Structure 1
Amino acid sequence: MASNTDFMSQDVTWKKPLELLNGGETVKICAPMVRYSKLPFRMLVRKYDCDLAFTPMIISNSFNKSVKARDADFSTCKGDRPLIVQFAADNACDLSTAAEIVYPFSDGVDLNCGCPQKWAMAAGYGSCLIYKPELLCDMVKQTRSKISDDNFTVSVKMRIHSNLRETVDLCQKAEKAGVSFLSVHGRTKDQRNDPVNIEAIRLIRENIDIPLIANGDIKSLKDVQLTVDQTGVHGVMAARGILTNPAMYSGEDITPLHCIKHWLDISLSLGTPFPIFHHHLIYMLERILCRSERRIFNTLGSMSAILNFLQEQYDIS
């Protein structure tokens, strides 16, 4: 499950999540993203001022039962810290057991209460949990009681309710249950492209005492500062923005060519599957290639074709 790969060992010391969140500086975070926020991408964004990274959402039930699932879903290495492992769970036993398994290899677990996909909600996962406060709090309590290390965080990532009073009430209940920090995506489960509700995030921040992370519409350092100024949150979490520009937290407006070079080195060294390797580059080159170049690049079907394209167009090898 935990890789011995340490070719990117970076600094072997790191700050724990709560140390970061209580340190007075805005914490810059890579969001949990299905397929995309795996080890190679986490190692890439850590080179560009990303302070904390999440794994993709992992189904806790399958993870607990199958060594094969654990090996497929979770890998890490020496420099991959601080790291939060996100789980989908519908009961306290599954979440707390999964937390015990990843405890030696990570700095915390996060309960997904934000995924709006129908399959997840039908299975009792994701954003349906924001309507089940007793269950959510029980999962937090039991997981917290299983691991005595106070530096190992138990957090929740959630969406907001249409009625913000329900959201504030849920956040306060989660805080009393012992959640270490909260990450809030400022949209309801039914909203997709609507603007993030900044007022909702500010309201939550004013009504809880634990650290709060804002998620949604973070696409540049300017967005980071604006969100912090408007809400007072302790950190920000980017998804689409950091996919398109993994160097955004270091102040780059578009993906720099040296970032693409780093992606080639990291992903090839870790044996990244071709579709993921390609899709990441499609995102990274989105604002670099013209339309005709994108059309060509997006249809490339082999590693050698991609490497040849980058060599010819940008002298990247």
Structure 2
Amino acid sequence: MEFWARSLRGARYVLAPMVDQSELAWRLLSRRHGAQLCYTPMLHAQVFVRDANYRRENLYSDLCPADRPLIVQFCANDPDVFVQAALLAQEFCDAIDLNLGCPQMIAKRGHYGAFLQDEWDLLEKIIERACEKLSVPITCKIRVFPEMEKTVTYAKLLEKAGCQLLTVHGRTKEQKGPLTGVASWEHIKAVRNAVKIPIFANGNIQFLSDVERCIQETGAHGVMTAEGNLHNPALFEGKNPRVWEMAEEYLDLVRQFPCSLSFVRAHLFKLWHHTLQVYQDLREELAKVKTLEGIIAVNRELKRRCQEEAANQKEGEEPTGELPFFHWICQPYVRPPPKDTTKEESGVRGKRALEDEEENAELLSKNKQKKKLRNPKKSFDPALKPKYAKCDQCGNPKGNKCVFQLCRSCCKKAAFREMADCAGHGLLFKTKYEKSVQCKSVQNVEAPEINIPEAPILQPPPEIKA
């Protein structure tokens, strides 16, 4: 509790760790508009230890006095690797967070995030080892089990191992994408009442009123938001500004603190989400631009059209459709509920079932439904999917034909280091080297002397007398 009050300054409004979305520029924008504590994007512990460029791009180059308090989040499944990564990061942050909440397929393949939530012995070792070696506190972010009692036992185990702050996302690992559904604040409240460490609640946050209501209903010390913040960075201020105001402010910060263009484009898609449904041509343009200046130009055109539309409004005119505000006002995007939602009393949805595709076709994403129409025989049953072999170095899926048995990134480094080829990944370091050597050897070979016999001297023909 002392750590939360002192090091984290009693933060109640928290920006979630978001892969490729909670970079420095966005963190600073969120802090300006009410966020009191920010997390870095989830960083891969093994890559962080191995790759100096990865460390510099994701943390070391982000040093900014205004970006505190800050918690660095890692995904890991090995105690030693997690500790090594944390030791390299601890002087740049106020705490280290272990990601136990990522439900995505890449986490399943790499065996981290929410797919560690049943390996309690391993989690105890990771946290205990980190507490012994680090000078900053260890925190965790988890998802709940469908069973409330098991969730409480899980939280107590992490607390006992040494976790000093716990963020509870009130959804199971199956609740994602079209099956996201509603988060269970009941589970969060049960955890809050069972442990003595500070608790952050995560889920169902779209307005500032949701934040206050969540704190009252769960007793949480703070509230974390992800999607709500992406659509409205001023959520914690209780304001709904015009989208172009937030977009222009963010783009100015990107100029000062550059980041990947894909991050910037993704943020603009979220901010302008409702407006881009109206102006589809600009949506396509935003997807195509290749420079920051191009993105700024699209943002400028979106602003112009919205201002023109607002100027032509009649007095007292109300927004049409289901949106509470006009589309150029920052407001949440509400996901449509799952069509087959059968919530239990706890409000937590059961496991996703795709065994019978004909009866459960509505559970497929729109993209998979399109693929199903094109190829009716295609199966989406998870049990029939090929098993992905792991890269020996980083745990990500390795190439099926890789000569090093590695993923593409690790293979590229190995092939360059050993000057070898990998046909599976199309890397030809050895072949290129041999060709260059051959070219140099050919250039350095002296041309052999060739004896060319002298041409005979031809005599002029005799004169012809008449």
**Which bin holds the TM-score, normalised by the shorter protein?**
0.7 to 0.9
Residue 299 (structure 2) pairs with residue 310 (structure 1) = yes
CA distance in 2, matches of 1:284, 1:191: 24
> How far is the alpha carbon of 1:191 from its aligned partner?
1.2
Query: Contact 2:170–2:188 at 8 Å: present in 1 too?
Result: yes
Residue 145 (structure 2) pairs with residue 158 (structure 1) = no
> How far is the alpha carbon of 1:224 from its aligned partner?
0.3
CA distance in 2, matches of 1:298, 1:54: 31
CA distance in 2, matches of 1:280, 1:108: 26
> How far is the alpha carbon of 1:130 from its aligned partner?
1.2
Query: Contact 1:247–1:256 at 8 Å: present in 2 too?
Result: no
Distance 1:223 1:20, change over 3 A: farther
Residue 54 (structure 2) pairs with residue 56 (structure 1) = no
Query: Contact 1:141–1:178 at 8 Å: present in 2 too?
Result: yes
Query: Contact 1:159–1:187 at 8 Å: present in 2 too?
Result: yes
> How far is the alpha carbon of 1:94 from its aligned partner?
1.2
Q: Unpaired segments of 5 or more residues in structure 2?
A: 307-466
> How far is the alpha carbon of 1:219 from its aligned partner?
1.4
Identity in percent: 32
1:101-140 counterparts in 2 under 5 A? 101-140=88-127
CA distance in 2, matches of 1:249, 1:153: 26
CA distance in 1, matches of 2:200, 2:251: 31
Name the counterpart of 1:203.
Answer: 190
Distance 1:20 1:199, change over 3 A: farther
Query: Contact 2:95–2:138 at 8 Å: present in 1 too?
Result: yes
Name the counterpart of 1:168.
Answer: 152
The range that moved more, 51-60 or 114-123, is 114-123
Query: Contact 1:115–1:189 at 8 Å: present in 2 too?
Result: yes
1:11-30 counterparts in 2 under 5 A? 17-19=4-6, 23=10, 27-30=12-15
Any idea what SS the aligned residue of 2:279 has? helix
Return the structure number with greater relative CO, CA threshold 8 A, min gap 6. 1
CA distance in 2, matches of 1:186, 1:119: 21
Any idea what SS the aligned residue of 2:209 has? helix
* Higher gyration radius (CA): 2
Within the candidate set 203, 208, 211, 1:216 is matched to: 203
Q: Unpaired segments of 5 or more residues in structure 1?
A: 1-14
Within the candidate set 165, 168, 172, 1:188 is matched to: 172
Any idea what SS the aligned residue of 2:273 has? coil
CA distance in 1, matches of 2:88, 2:182: 38
Within the candidate set 153, 162, 165, 1:178 is matched to: 162
Residue 20 (structure 2) pairs with residue 35 (structure 1) = yes
CA distance in 1, matches of 2:28, 2:7: 18
The range that moved more, 123-132 or 230-239, is 123-132
Q: What CA RMSD, in Å, does the superposition of the two structures yield over aligned residues? A: 2.2
Any idea what SS the aligned residue of 1:131 has? coil
> How far is the alpha carbon of 1:21 from its aligned partner?
6.3
CA distance in 1, matches of 2:26, 2:236: 14
CA distance in 1, matches of 2:92, 2:143: 28
CA distance in 1, matches of 2:224, 2:122: 25
Distance 1:94 1:209, change over 3 A: same
Distance 1:272 1:231, change over 3 A: same
Aligned residues: 296
Within the candidate set 292, 295, 312, 2:278 is matched to: 292
CA distance in 1, matches of 2:17, 2:227: 11
Moved over 6 A (4+): none
Any idea what SS the aligned residue of 1:187 has? coil
Query: Contact 1:184–1:213 at 8 Å: present in 2 too?
Result: yes
CA distance in 2, matches of 1:51, 1:157: 18
Distance 1:160 1:134, change over 3 A: same
> How far is the alpha carbon of 1:314 from its aligned partner?
3.2
CA distance in 2, matches of 1:161, 1:29: 23
Amino acid at match of 2:27: R
CA distance in 2, matches of 1:118, 1:305: 33
> How far is the alpha carbon of 1:275 from its aligned partner?
2.2
Amino acid at match of 1:304: E
TM-score (norm 1): 0.87
Any idea what SS the aligned residue of 1:236 has? strand
Name the counterpart of 1:244.
Answer: 231
Name the counterpart of 1:3.
Answer: none
